[in-house]
Amino acid sequence: MSVGGFADRVLHVDLTDGRIDKHPLDLDLAQRFIGGLGLTIKLAYDTILPGTDPLSPENPIVLGAGPLVGTNLPSTSRLYAVTKLPTSGTIGWCGSGGVNFGYLFKNAGYDHLIIKGRADRPVYLKIIDDEVEICDAAHLWGKGAEETSEALWMELGHPTGVMTMGQAGENLVPFSIAFIDRIATLGRGGLGAIMGAKNLKAIVVKGTRGIKVADRKRYKGLSEDFLQTIRSYPYLKEWQDLGLVKSFPMIPKETYYGMKKRRIACVSCPIGCKDVIEIPDGDFKGLVKCTSSVLNLYTPVLYGFKDHRESIRCMATIDQYGLDAFEFFGLMSFAKALADHGIIPPEQLDEEIATDSLASMEGWARKITYREGLGDILARGFKGILEEFGKEAETYAPPLVKGMQPYVGPGAALSWDLFGTMELGQVLDPRGPHVGASGSPTYFDRRPLEVFPRHLTRMGVPEEAFERILPGLNSPDQEEELRVGRLLKYSHAWFSILGSLGICARGAINRFYNASLCAQFYEAVTGIEMDVDQLRRRADRLWTLLRMANIREGLDQKAEALPHKWFSKPGFKRYTTEEPLGLQEGEEMIEDYYDEWGWERKTGIPSPQLLEKLGLKEN
């Protein structure tokens, strides 16, 4: 039986000298790291020189799509980028629903793309099957992310996968993002700026080679049963209808239905969570906006916008520029506090900062993007503001993690206060704070602990770890508790498995997958032997290697310290009892997390013995 799933090639592009090489995929390496996210981490580890400036030509962008991408297994179109990120200074991942880009990249015949160097003029990379060309992008430079996508589709037609950034990326704003097919994002961390530093406006891809499956008969049996499970899910229609509004009903259904134009699904996804909306009335009537969720368009509402139509218009502007909206609004709130207290002197404020005003926020988004006046300081992010305005400014800063504002918690946009794996993960994911379920049961509030073992089994947690995660589980006399740090280890491991295969980690779909099924799908698609134990071992290997990549960069446990402001009143609460959470308790969770991976409990450094066990010693 021949190997399936993989496209069998890695594309190398050096923008400095224009060299383009296609290398055969090292299948042994792919097996050791599963593929997708795992192998992207390994290739990045091997390519990033320690100490590299994120915005230097030497910093590579490594892209990857897993072995299931291109098949019709549900929601298998994920795309990952790993690079050294300018916002956090860490080596981290950016992930995106692949929309069309993921399957077209695989169909063009590539599993991974490694881009190095810096072009001497604005360029875009065009990949059409075997033909790979570095093209002039003078006509695209200066355009917004959506405008660029439209212009490239006008040139190349559909289907074409488009990865691009806006003017913020061109001007090296460290919290600029990249877009996939105009609707999904390779978000937090600054991938837009890394593309800008390379003079790389976009990557476009078309592919017609196809993806084969090694064992068609087994694949068919497994996938038909699986699809039937999804079809029978009682809430399927509701998920399809409402998208993320089902989980987070922050918009009245009537308002949502009044603007919904189309549900968009990434290729192979039977649920669909992306939205195309049109403003039905008011000053911006007729504005059509594509978004990875309509909820994103309400970010300005969280910061005081009263009119949701103005909020959508504001997000349309921010997305064109390619700014990270959460970071932008966090910064503007901070800047407003500094202005109100005279720390930013009035003469530097040529425009009022009002986080509830469309005119003000659009104005500041433009100033930041084009780095005009005070906007140039704000464009350097929280770190830049603190450097500029000194110690006095710190009092007004929100809790920060790796120089970025967390999504969730006291002072953040989302004021969820129960401390589960996502909340702790904001500190412990190398990329910095972000939101994501990663399959963890604590993503939703107030789940009773008796349902946790079912989720742990699904996520591939070995039974011997259950008692460590849920002490008292099997002892009627002992009160049950939840060890969030230990659970987070397995949440990250489960995310690693899904990402390496190419499966979406969003809660609406990953609820249907389990570790055993993942191993079986991997075997059927690739023809490579796999079981749950081997998947676990590979997850341990790839996440530990990501840890090593950051330790090599000088990351230590101090960079993962919990913000003290999280523990002043009103702070986070325990997930189970909803009592106030103490700093020491949080610190013990971090130690538990390190310990569960087998890393040194106090420092988080993997021991030489562990590295040897995981086959990482040569790294």
Amino acid letter, residue 42: K
231 is an interface residue for another protein by CB under 8 A = yes
Q: Interaction with another protein in 93-132: which residues (CB under 8 A)?
A: 100, 103, 107
278 is an interface residue for another protein by CB under 8 A = yes
Q: How far is the CB of 583 from another protein (least distance, A)?
A: 45
**CA distances, 149 to each of 77, 79, 93, 537, 607 (Å):** 19, 18, 23, 40, 46
Among 92, 109, 272, 507, binds another protein (CB under 8 A): 272
Among 20, 27, 276, 337, binds another protein (CB under 8 A): 276
What CA–CA distance (Å, rounded) separates 424 from 156? Answer: 44
Q: How far is the CB of 116 from another protein (least distance, A)?
A: 30
Q: How far is the CB of 286 from another protein (least distance, A)?
A: 11
156 is an interface residue for another protein by CB under 8 A = no
For another protein, the closer CB: 264 or 332: 264
* Residue 567, number of CB atoms within 10 A of its CB: 18
Per-residue tokens: 73: 């297994």
Scanning the structure block, which residue is given the tokens 């810096």? 118
Region of 10-18, 153-161, 197-205, 386-394 interacting with another protein (CB under 8 A): 153-161
332 is an interface residue for another protein by CB under 8 A = no
215 is an interface residue for another protein by CB under 8 A = no
153 is an interface residue for another protein by CB under 8 A = yes
For another protein, the closer CB: 100 or 544: 100
Q: How far is the CB of 68 from another protein (least distance, A)?
A: 10
371 is an interface residue for another protein by CB under 8 A = no
Q: Of all helices (H) and strands (E), which one includes residue 136?
A: strand 131-136
569 is an interface residue for another protein by CB under 8 A = no
Determine the 3-state secondary structure of 23 from DSSP: strand
What CA–CA distance (Å, rounded) separates 535 from 555? Answer: 27
What CA–CA distance (Å, rounded) separates 404 from 410? Answer: 14
CA quadruple 449, 451, 456, 457: dihedral positive or negative?
A: positive
Q: What angle do CA 207, 211, 212 make, to 5 degrees?
A: 155
For another protein, the closer CB: 189 or 270: 270
For another protein, the closer CB: 182 or 201: 182
617 is an interface residue for another protein by CB under 8 A = no
What CA–CA distance (Å, rounded) separates 143 from 122? Answer: 12
What CA–CA distance (Å, rounded) separates 461 from 457? Answer: 6
For another protein, the closer CB: 1 or 479: 1
Among 3, 27, 250, 265, binds another protein (CB under 8 A): 265
291 is an interface residue for another protein by CB under 8 A = no
Per-residue tokens: 37: 């996210």
Q: How far is the CB of 344 from another protein (least distance, A)?
A: 39
Among 163, 202, 211, 344, binds another protein (CB under 8 A): 211
Q: Of all helices (H) and strands (E), which one includes residue 401?
A: none
Amino acid letter, residue 486: R
Scanning the structure block, which residue is given the tokens 């996508």? 149
Which residues 6+ apart lie within 8 Å of 412 measured at CB?
A: 330, 398, 399, 405, 406
Amino acid letter, residue 239: W
Region of 136-144, 229-237, 323-331, 600-608 interacting with another protein (CB under 8 A): 229-237
What CA–CA distance (Å, rounded) separates 294 from 361? Answer: 19
269 is an interface residue for another protein by CB under 8 A = yes
Q: How far is the CB of 71 from another protein (least distance, A)?
A: 5
Scanning the structure block, which residue is given the tokens 């956090």? 88
315 is an interface residue for another protein by CB under 8 A = no
CA quadruple 253, 333, 418, 597: dihedral positive or negative?
A: positive
Region of 228-236, 402-410, 468-476, 561-569 interacting with another protein (CB under 8 A): 228-236
Measured in degrees and rounded to the nearest 5, phi and psi for residue 349 equal: -95, 95
For another protein, the closer CB: 4 or 300: 4
159 is an interface residue for another protein by CB under 8 A = yes
Measured in degrees and rounded to the nearest 5, phi and psi for residue 352 equal: -60, 145
Among 67, 89, 207, 322, binds another protein (CB under 8 A): 207
Contact criterion met (CB below 8 Å) for 403 and 386: no
For another protein, the closer CB: 109 or 192: 109
What CA–CA distance (Å, rounded) separates 572 from 78? Answer: 32
Pairing label, strands 91-96, 79-84: antiparallel
Q: How far is the CB of 484 from another protein (least distance, A)?
A: 35
Contact criterion met (CB below 8 Å) for 186 and 169: no
For another protein, the closer CB: 166 or 432: 166
Q: Quote the distance between the C-alpha of residue 460 and its chain's center.
A: 22
208 is an interface residue for another protein by CB under 8 A = yes
284 is an interface residue for another protein by CB under 8 A = no
Q: How far is the CB of 110 from another protein (least distance, A)?
A: 15
For another protein, the closer CB: 174 or 272: 272
374 is an interface residue for another protein by CB under 8 A = no
Terminal Cα-to-Cα distance of the chain (whole angstroms): 32
Contact criterion met (CB below 8 Å) for 133 and 297: no
CA quadruple 84, 87, 92, 96: dihedral positive or negative?
A: negative
Among 121, 139, 216, 306, binds another protein (CB under 8 A): 216
* Residue 196, number of CB atoms within 10 A of its CB: 26
Give the interface size with another protein as a residue count (CB under 8 A). Answer: 39
Region of 186-194, 250-258, 271-279, 356-364 interacting with another protein (CB under 8 A): 271-279
Among 7, 63, 214, 267, binds another protein (CB under 8 A): 267
552 is an interface residue for another protein by CB under 8 A = no
For another protein, the closer CB: 10 or 264: 264
263 is an interface residue for another protein by CB under 8 A = yes
261 is an interface residue for another protein by CB under 8 A = yes
Interface contacts to another protein, rule CB under 8 A: 70-72, 100, 103, 107, 153, 158-159, 182, 207-213, 216, 227, 230-231, 236, 240, 261-272, 276, 278, 288, 290
